[in-house]
Each structure stands twice: as C-alpha cells, then as structure tokens.
Amino acid sequence: MTRLLACLTLLFCALFARAEDAAIGEVFTATGARGTLVIEALGSRQRFVHDQRRARQAYAAASTFKVLHSLIALEEQAIGDEHEVIAWDGKQHEIADWNQDQTLASAFRVSCVWCYQELARRIGASRYPQHIRAAGFGQLSDGFAARTFWLDGALTISAEQQIVFLRRLVERRLPYRASSFAILRTIMLAESGPTHRLYAKTGWATRSTPGIGWYVGYLENAGETWLFALNLDIQDAAELPLRRQIMLAALRAKGILPTP
C-alpha cells in the first residue's frame, strides 16, 4: 500500500509538472504578477497552463461577461445591432469615454458599465439564468441583482470555464443566431496583423481585495485558433495594462504570436 501511494504521488507530481508551463511562468515572474493563464488550441487541443490550481478557482466574471451579455442582448432584441445608439442619460462617470452616447460596439470597446446595465434593464432579470446555464458561463447565484450581478460576485467563473465557454463560442455551439455571432466577432476584434487576428475582452473585478483582472479571448494565426483566459491579482488601476502585456508576452513566448 505504501509503495502504491508513493507511485500515485509521483504520477500526480509528474502530471502537475507537465501542466505548469515554464515559459509562461517566466513571463509572470518577470512582471511580479500573481495569476493564472490557460491557452488551448481549438483544433489540436494543445494546452499551456500556468498555475493549474488557480485556473480552477472561480472569480467574479466582471466585464468578461460582456462577451455573452452582448449575445444575450442581441438575441433578446434589447438592441438591434452594433450600430444602434444607446442614449447617455447625462450622468457623469469617472471614465470620460462613458460620458456620451454609445453603440454596442463602442460600449464593448470602452467596457461601459452603464450601457450594459441599460441593456440588462431591457432584457429583464428572469431571462439571465436560462442564458447563462445554456452557455455554461460559470455559476450565477440565486437572488442576484439584475444590474450588477456580473460585477458584485453573484456571477463567478474560472479560467478553465472561460476556455470551455470560448470553445463553444468560436465553434458556434451556443443557441444564438448567426447574425449575433457575426456582430460579436466584429466588436471583439482587438488587434489584426498580416498573419493574425486577436479577439479579446478585459475585465476588472474591484469588489474584492485584491481585485481580479481578466483578459480572455482567442487568437487566429497560422491556420489555428488559440483560446486564452488570464486572470491576475490587481492592487490598483496602474497594474491594469499587465493583463494584456502578460497575455501577449506569453503568446510570443510559446511561438503562437509573432514578435513585432
């Protein structure tokens, strides 16, 4: 029995070691950031992981929910397309880009909270549990507040769950119209180059200490699509650029994204 336990322990350690990607670990070490990152190829299923244990830990979804939220809003006809205007009510917000009329495209780009709260009002609280269950997007607690649940921790998701959701999104295995997928793809485009296209969404959960920063999405490059989900501890707004910096550095470290 002792020998069996020892063998199982060695096997577990070997599997865990393979799950921990050294090159990505060096990227995190160089920045001093504490977090996790999962990268997975859509076709080959090749995976690279930093901090597997944290990758399974659920955190507030924050603005990463805007990916699914946009699909829900389009499906529920809370908004017609990416060009329809969402009128600003004149209230001043800390982020200057929010203080004007928005479209779905601009609201997604600047991560406008009040815009998606207006869409939530139009959709209605009763519609969300069904959509979130069908999409497999994390866990939604009972008794959630309809206009803040993705911000206040009522909706949580792990990096691993983000990858599962992103796979279903890219493969269009979610119960939404082709037109809704097409619009989301348009507004998610964050960067394009001669050989690649990057689709992504940031997130920042501020109602915990430390806060949690997110960067999720997928990269199309060299005939393969790479899904990615990163989260890390954020102490203050000055650290927010690390989300994208670490993600791009990790993709380059693995040879997935060309060096500029």
Query: Pairing between strand 35-41 and 47-50?
Result: antiparallel
Helices (H), the chain: 2-19, 22-31, 52-55, 65-75, 104-110, 113-123, 128-135, 159-170, 178-188, 241-253
Domains annotated for the chain, with CATH where assigned, are 52-229 (3.40.710.10)
Round to whole Å and give the CA distance between 182 and 120. 21
The predicted pLDDT at position 9 comes to 43
Length of the chain: 260
Residue 124 token pair: 């209605």
Residue 118 has a pLDDT of 98
Whole-number pLDDT of residue 19: 67
CB 17 within 8 A of CB 208: no
Amino acid at 232: L
pTM: 0.91
* 246 and 233 Cβ atoms separated by less than 8 Å: no
Taking the C-alpha atoms of residue 41 and residue 24, their distance in angstroms, rounded to an integer, is 16
> What pLDDT sits at residue 16?
41
pLDDT by residue for the chain (260 residues), tens only, comes to: 555 544 444 444 434 434 699 999 999 999 999 999 999 999 999 999 999 999 999 999 999 999 999 999 999 999 999 999 999 999 999 999 999 999 999 999 999 999 999 999 999 999 999 999 999 999 999 999 999 999 999 999 999 999 999 999 999 999 999 999 999 999 999 999 998 999 999 999 999 999 999 999 999 998 999 999 999 999 999 999 999 999 999 999 999 998 87
CB 102 within 8 A of CB 112: yes
197 with 219: CB under 8 angstroms?
yes
Q: What is the CA radius of gyration of the chain?
A: 19
Active site positions, annotated: 63
Token couple for 41: 């190829």
